[in-house]
Amino acid sequence: MKQDYAKILKAGADLVMITPDSLDEHRRYALKLFGKELPYLYVPDSDLDIARRYGLIRKEEHSHGGFYDRSLWILNRKAVITYKSLPWRGNVQIEEYQKLFSLIGGEPGEWRATCGLRHAERSHDG
């Protein structure tokens, strides 16, 4: 979503990533992968309290490790949930990724040109 963050902001929305990882872990990940920090806000959920409250804990460990399910939640300006996708597969399904931009009234994202290519390349690396 890094490549489309400006489109999210232009549509009047914002992006907050809630993660079981520490802020330092995400910073190191971003610097290693992209050479700079990611622009959006991160909220650490290391005790998994948020994940438990919103049903984001997997029953089985993910193949890459971890029990946190990706999800997408859209809240309006009154903090009311107007849409949720659980689990969210926008990282591997272009239709799910583009639905986000449709729901917030933004121009289409560039999934195919960036995220999809990187994902496909990584999946062949083993």
pLDDT in tens, 36-93: 888 888 888 888 898 889 888 877 776 666 667 778 888 888 888 888 887 777 667 7
Task: Could you please state the CATH topology (level 3) that the domain comprising 2-121 is classified under.
Answer: Glutaredoxin (3.40.30)
Query: In the prediction, which pLDDT does 125 show?
Result: 36
Nearest C-alpha neighbor of 65 from the set 21, 5, 115, 34: 21
Confidence class for position 20, pLDDT limits 50, 70, 90: confident
- Alpha-carbon gap, residue 91 to 110, rounded angstroms: 12
- Mean of the per-residue pLDDT values of the chain: 78
pLDDT at residue 93 in the model: 75
Global confidence as pTM: 0.71
* Domain range summary for the chain, segments of one domain joined by +: 2-121
